[in-house]
Amino acid sequence: MIGPMRIAIVTDAWAPQVNGVVRTLQTIQGELEAMGHEVKVISPDLYGSIPCPTYPEIRLALVRSGVVGQAIAEFRPDAVHLATEGPLCIAARRWCLRTAVPFTTAYHTHFPDYVAQRTGLPAAWFWRYIRWFHGPAQAVLVSTRSVREQLRAHGVANVRPWGRGVDIAAFTTGAVAPALFADLVRPIQLYVGRIAIEKNLEAFLATDHPGTKVIVGEGPARAALERAYPQARFVGPLFGAALAGAYAGADVFVFPSRTDTFGLVMIEALACGTPVAGYPVTGPIDIVTPDTGALSEDLGTAIAAALGCDRIVCAAYGRGFSWKRSAQEFLSGLHAIDPMVMESAA
């Protein structure tokens, strides 16, 4: 696609939520606008909504497809992207199909595994929904090779690469560690992210490697985990320089999730010079190299091995992830809308 575009992004995940999807979309919006493109984000805060069961921080929009479609049509976009698989994007999807407006989608989270953990139902049941939702899309944008292969294996075709980046101005080896870290027993083993069941955080907290476990973030499982693991330090959410300092001041970053498709926090930690320990699953296997961390089905073994990595090598590798390149891949994956189709839809 050549020249400035008008891009409509519909998403169920947006501020004030704090997660990787929101940060990715906000950063991509900024990159696209810096390139001269015009971006309209259609998000739950624009409509009436209800809290998601078991996850009240997430609001589920209550809106008819025609209302969402009107918002899209009035913007007259050159491309429409549906970022998530929630009710707002379902409404937009219905309108796009009814009006023959092409659209792209993205696969940010292992939705079947995520919902299975929260409901106790088999993940296979939810793959049917994933195939249904993404099936009509002109392209499904996916962050890593292993996730693209997994989607193809489950019958989701037409997947395209859309990598992620790191803010190299913010996440550096020179970031100042929190004062709290000065009094902690080393090695400091850091986790950053949602404190929720799908992040598999208890697997990290249950490891017995010497040192101090520091948990940065908030979420519905925090109170129970604080009671169960009083030796761990739960410091709440951190942002900006404070977050960068936590990454830089830690000795190893631990990523216990098995349901993420990428994991922005891993490359942020690496850019600050901190090696990563995790499981050999989608996300970590696409990011972590033998020189920048360790992966093992025994998380304690991964932590011990990662501590031996060269922090200079980690920082150089982490700083190689570019948001500008991510935005260019996003643009390449979009599908141009014929102006006559949009005129008819409006």
Query: pLDDT by residue (tens digit) across 302-328?
Result: 999 999 999 999 999 999 999 999 999
State yes or no: pLDDT of 57 exceeds 80.
Answer: no
208/109: higher pLDDT:
208
List of E strands, 182-340: 188-192, 212-216, 233-236, 252-255, 276-278, 293-295
Rounded to the nearest 10 degrees, the angle between the axes of helix 123-134 and helix 87-99 is 40
pLDDT at 1 over 60: no
Confidence of residue 51 (pLDDT cuts 50, 70, 90): confident
pLDDT, one tens digit per residue, over 2-13 is 579 999 999 999
The per-residue pLDDT for range 184-196, each reduced to its tens digit, is 999 999 999 999 9
Strands of the chain, DSSP E: 6-10, 38-42, 49-52, 55-61, 79-82, 104-107, 140-142, 159-161, 188-192, 212-216, 233-236, 252-255, 276-278, 293-295
- Residue pair 10/82 in contact (Cβ under 8 Å)? The answer is yes
Q: What pLDDT is stored for residue 2 in this prediction? A: 59
Report the alpha-carbon angle 123-199-287, nearest 5: 95
Domains and CATH numbers, the chain: 6-165+324-345 (3.40.50.2000), 179-321 (3.40.50.2000)
Say if strands 55-61 and 188-192 run parallel, antiparallel, or are unpaired. unpaired
The distance from CA 203 to its chain's CA centroid, rounded to whole angstroms, is 20
| 8 Å CB contact between 138 and 102 | yes
At residue 116, the pLDDT reads: 66
